Chains A and B, each alone.
Chain A
Amino acid sequence: MSKRIGMEIALAAAEAAALCRPDVIAAYPITPNTHVPEHLSEIVAEGRLDAEFITVESEHSAMSACAGASGAGARAFTATSSQGLLYMAEILAIISSMRLPVVMIIGNRALSGPLSIWNDHSDIMSQRDIGWISLFAANGQETVDMTIQAFKIAEHPDVMLPTNVNLDGFQLTHVVEPMLMPDQEEVDRFLPPFKPFAALNPDDPVTLGALGLPDIYTEACKSREEVLLNSKKVILEVWKEWEEQFGRKYEPIEPYEAEDAEVLMLTMGSMGETAEMAIDELRKEGMKAGLLKLKLWRPFPFEELKEAVKGAKVLVVTDRCLSYGGAGGPVALEVRSALYEEKKRPVILNYIIGLGGRDVMVDHFMEMIRTAAKADAERPEKAYEIYGVRE
């Protein structure tokens, strides 16, 4: 039976990963995800988990070791943050192209520079288009649940894609929260042993990662695109199974007071919980405000988004990352593209918030929503605004 625990979320994520019985863990420490692999190494050292813990010399090697392990048919896990993710970049795209279901926790952190160890989403956004499934947790419980779900989604025979679970650095990784931790029997029931589609074995040789000349590369890309788009079906199935077994509901876009909302805010990650409090306050004032919490970033839930914003006049999209020289934040770019062809769509505002660990308080969210509410009459001049930047 699940047990209620109070634990730092990074440690809980490690406990959840251990319950999934990974065969190989290869990781290199980097703030703020460090406690995840550190705690896993303790779990292996204590003999609670029979896994190969590879202390690699870099993140590039961590992801390479995961590629090799997964290619040999092992369940592989790693975790990283920020520059570590960038150092893995070369292997990230290779892993998804080879359809290796590696699971990775990303304790999201800003990219240098200036050197920052604090949280925003610029690390994962820089690796947005690499063909991984990306989930975003809003709190400790979601981190635990999504870590376990990630293995089942990644390894599903119709998916076979690497999956990353994103949790905000410090704001989640270093926070102690009460959570329900499933037990081994429950996780074993939910997550079957990994059955690789093909594995490297000298007795039955296969080629992984072959050369793709121009006469096949395009078809290979199309096949990757199709499988990633179709993975949404499996993700929804896995979330349904999770809800049936554990009673906690997951959906690509979780609404909060959104049903009759005229002004909707959209968040991704831990700031959703602060934004909820802002919505409560504004509702008390009589404003029809609501919130959408995006949990599934890749594959992007186009249909669900269209459905969710149907009744709204204004949509305020928050981003924890800036696409320098582009049209704002990556989430807003995606949302605008998703809704562009719709005959009736809300006015869309984009606020870039919480860069490099800048706090965003309830008052700030309230101010953003109040300003946005006026945008119905007067459309914003700019495509986006960096909220609270000192001028």
Chain B
Amino acid sequence: MAEKKWPETWQEVNPGCIVFRPGSSRDYHTGTWRAERPIWDNSKCIKCGICYLFCPEGCISEDEEGYFAADLNYCKGCGICAHECWPGAIKMVGEE
């Protein structure tokens, strides 16, 4: 049986809700909260890294060419990256 990601019944709750597996928050995909997703237009991007720095989720990473993109498993769609990108390279687009 696959290990449960989190307890289901109260009896399964660890004392003090202690989590023994490091990095378990990665199992929680905050991407399901998203109503809009950020779309990058690399032709406008100046590779300043501001979006990367401001993303509260830490889900933006740099690719080999120095452009940026979000991991949509975790991107909550807050729009901060689009707001902070002053060359206007990021647009928030509604999820279908």
B43 within 8 A of A: no
| A207→B14 CA distance, assembly (Å) | 11
A99 within 8 A of B: yes
A47 within 8 A of B: no
Interface pair A219/B9, CB less than 8 Å apart: yes
A227 within 8 A of B: yes
| A218→B25 CA distance, assembly (Å) | 19
| A226→B10 CA distance, assembly (Å) | 10
Interface residues on A, range: 20 to 34
15 A-B pairs with CB atoms under 8 Å apart are: A97-B17, A98-B18, A100-B16, A197-B15, A205-B22, A207-B18, A207-B22, A210-B18, A216-B7, A218-B10, A219-B10, A220-B17, A222-B10, A223-B13, A223-B15
A325 within 8 A of B: no
A342 CB to closest chain B CB (Å) equals 29
B binding-site residues for A, Cβ under 8 Å: 6-13, 15-20, 22, 24-25
Interface pair A208/B13, CB less than 8 Å apart: no
| A207→B6 CA distance, assembly (Å) | 14
Query: From B12, which residue of chain A is reached at the shortest CB distance?
Result: A219
Residue in contact with B10 in the complex, picked from A197, A205, A206, A223, CB distance below 8 Å = A223
Lowest 4 CB-CB distances: which A-B pairs, in order?
A99-B16, A207-B19, A222-B10, A219-B10
A73 CB to closest chain B CB (Å) equals 13
Residue in contact with A216 in the complex, picked from B11, B13, B18, B25, CB distance below 8 Å = B13
Interface pair B15/A160, CB less than 8 Å apart: yes
The interface residues of chain A lying within 8 Å CB-to-CB of B19 are 206-207, 210
B61 CB to closest chain A CB (Å) equals 24
| A106→B17 CA distance, assembly (Å) | 27
